[in-house]
Amino acid sequence: MSCKSPNLLVLETVSSPQHCIVPDWPAPPNVRALQTTRAGGVSSAPYASLNLGSHVGDAPLAVARNRTLLNGLLPSEPVWMEQVHGKVVANADAASCSAQADACIARHRAAVCVVMTADCLPILLCDRQGTVVGAAHAGWKGLAAGVIEATVNEMRVGGPQLMAWLGPAISQPVFEVGAEVRELFADDPASAAAFIPCDKTHGHAAQKFHADLYALARLRLNALGIKQIYGGDRCTYRESEKFFSYRRDGVTGRMGTFIWME
Q: Is the peptide bond before 49 cis (omega within 30 degrees of 0)?
A: yes
Closest CA to 86 of 180, 34, 149: 149
Asked if residue 189 has a cis previous peptide bond (ω within 30° of 0), the answer is no
Burial 88-122, CB ≥16 within 10 A → b, else e: bbbbbeebeeebebbbbbbeeeebbbbbbbbbbbb
With cut-offs at 50, 70 and 90, classify the pLDDT of residue 202: low
Range in 34-38, 56-60, 186-190, 248-252 with the lowest mean pLDDT: 186-190
12-48 pLDDT tens trace: 443 333 579 999 999 999 999 999 999 999 999 999 9
Cα 151 from Cα 235, distance rounded (Å): 24
Give pLDDT tens digits for 87-132: 999 999 997 767 899 999 999 999 999 999 999 999 999 999 999 9
Q: Contact at 8 Å (CB) between 138 and 122?
A: yes
Residue 95's pLDDT is 77
pLDDT at 42: 96
* pLDDT > 70? residue 10: no
Q: Could you tell me whether strands 103-106 and 89-91 are parallel, antiparallel, or unpaired per DSSP bridges?
A: parallel
Instruction: Name the band, by pLDDT with cuts 50, 70 and 90, for residue 206.
Output: confident
**Structural domain spans, the chain:** 2-171+228-261
Mean pLDDT of 141-154: 98
Q: Over the chain, what is the mean pLDDT? A: 91
Contact between 121 and 167 (Cβ < 8 Å) = yes
Per-residue confidence (pLDDT) for residue 199, from 0 to 100: 84
**Residues linked to residue 135 through DSSP beta bridges, in sequence order:** 104, 124
Mind listing the pLDDT tens digit for each residue in 222-231? 999 999 999 9
pLDDT given at position 201: 57
**Domain 2-171+228-261 indexed as CATH 3.40.50.1000:** no
Percent of the chain at pLDDT > 70 equals 90
pLDDT tier for residue 63 given thresholds of 50, 70 and 90: very high
pLDDT at 11: 47
